[in-house]
Amino acid sequence: MNALAATNRNFRLASRLLGLDSKLEKSLLIPFREIKVECTIPKDDGTLATYVGFRIQHDNARGPMKGGIRYHPEVEPDEVNALAQLMTWKTAVAAIPYGGAKGGIGCNPRDLSKSELERLTRVFTQKIHDLIGIHTDVPAPDMGTNAQTMAWILDEYSKFHGHSPAVVTGKPIVSGSLGREAATGRGVVYATEALLAEYGKSIKGMTFVIQGFGNVGSWASRLIHEKGGKVIAVSDITGALKNPNGIDIPELLKHKEATGSLKSFNGGDSMDPNELLVHECDVLIPCALGGVLNRENAADVKAKFIIEAANHPTDPEADEILSKKGVIILPDIYANAGGVTVSYFEWVQNIQGFMWDEEKVNQELKKYMTKAFHNIKNMCQSHDCNLRMGAFTLGVNRVARATILRGWEA
């Protein structure tokens, strides 16, 4: 099932549990605005190339819309739509005053030089600058984009609207926020602590398997290692490795920085990446692509807890198989909300012109993640449902209430 179908399915289940009016339900599903633009740029060799850019603005009942911009060959409206909708529920779950949006350009950033990427980013910004804004829609980095991309958007936007650092988040530290780079991984760890505490456990002494060793996976691994957790297997696109006694994460990080790969690391044995998800462990954290847990492998998963650090890593069919096995799944719309939460802190700091130190950022993040977990648990008790539906009912209910209060039928 693709991301849009799965997101719509979860939304409809939550809507039934909440007893929402069918007209309101339909209104909440339809995006506020869909933007499609043509971006033509001169390449370094003098030829012209055209790329299609999208921005889907899903909902603004609770505040300005918020969401990443991805540069990827497979960016297409359905996926962007699902991710925009997911952001609406995610920001509501985290109790931050945003709605959801998502955007992207259909391109392969690896095939473009830095100057071509800059030109593409600036043309895209020129096409959408009057539809984004500090109190309208605040983009952020995503797959294939980074702090540099955000700096270009900020610069181009500021040519039209004056210096506006709060128009994008995930910027370089000069005008960004301390703690932003580690935020999603750190949020995953705070979410894991909140979940394990419910079962009288802590990270210390537990075994972890982490799929994906990019930004989120490497930060989650590092922080789990620091807290005494045992990371026994990790993987990324370069390979997978395991060590039953626990991998020395600081050493692995040094090795990856030096070689760009997990291969030939002498602190673990290489393994088949496909076996990673079904490896024996206490906690499995998928931090890579969507749909990795599906009906083919779900029955073989041995983890007791799954923390969804990636977007939509568990297919609905796998969800049912895992639930029957008694596996506890912490859903993506809560588990990976640390990134958007610290993006919110960055926006607040930019608007106030007053920067926080890293300790304050991390303290506030822990407070938000812990409170959100308890709110999800309350919804689970009220509606007698699992954590995924607890999170969806929490998010959808908050957006529905804001929509009704604002008067959506007028």
**What was the pLDDT predicted at 224?**
96
What DSSP letter does each residue of 162-226 carry, written as one string?
Answer: S--GGGSSS--TTTS-TTTTTHHHHHHHHHHHHHHHHTT--STT-EEEEE--SHHHHHHHHHHHH
Place 1 in a pLDDT band, splitting at 50, 70 and 90.
low
* Domain endpoint, select from 147, 173, 199: 173
Domain CATH number, residue 139: 3.40.50.10860
- Flag whether 230 is in a domain: yes
147 shares its domain with 227: no
Pair 283, 192: CB distance under 8 Å: yes
316 shares its domain with 404: yes
* Domain endpoint, select from 141, 173, 205: 173
Count of the separate structural domains present in the chain: 2
Helix H or strand E encompassing 237: none
226 shares its domain with 100: no
**What was the pLDDT predicted at 261?**
87
The pair of structure tokens assigned to 27 is 């209104």
pLDDT at 233 over 80: yes
> How many whole angstroms separate alpha carbon 379 and alpha carbon 340?
22
Candidates 43, 102, 242, 366; catalytic one: 102
* Domain endpoint, select from 149, 173, 197: 173
> How many whole angstroms separate alpha carbon 252 and alpha carbon 355?
33
Catalytic annotation present for 102: yes
167 shares its domain with 273: no
The whole-model pTM stands at 0.93
> How many whole angstroms separate alpha carbon 217 and alpha carbon 281?
16
160 shares its domain with 187: no
**How many residues comprise the chain?**
410
pLDDT digits (tens, 9 = 90+) for 3-57: 778 888 899 999 999 999 999 999 999 999 999 999 999 999 999 999 999 999 9
Mean pLDDT along residues 364-379 = 97
From the annotation, which residues make up the binding site for NAD(+)?
184, 215
141 shares its domain with 186: no
Domain CATH number, residue 260: 3.40.50.720
- Flag whether 17 is in a domain: no
Mean pLDDT along residues 323-334 = 94
The phi and psi torsions of 332 (rounded to 5 degrees) equal: -60, -35
From the annotation, which residues make up the binding site for substrate?
66, 90, 343
293 shares its domain with 213: yes
160 shares its domain with 210: no
Mean pLDDT along residues 86-108 = 96
> How many whole angstroms separate alpha carbon 320 and alpha carbon 23?
29
From the annotation, which residues make up the binding site?
66, 90, 184, 215, 343
253: amino acid identity, one letter: L
Helix H or strand E encompassing 248: none
Q: Which residues contact 116 (CB under 8 A, 6 or more apart)?
A: 41, 43, 44
Domain that holds residue 194: 177-410
> How many whole angstroms separate alpha carbon 384 and alpha carbon 192?
22
pLDDT at 311 over 90: no
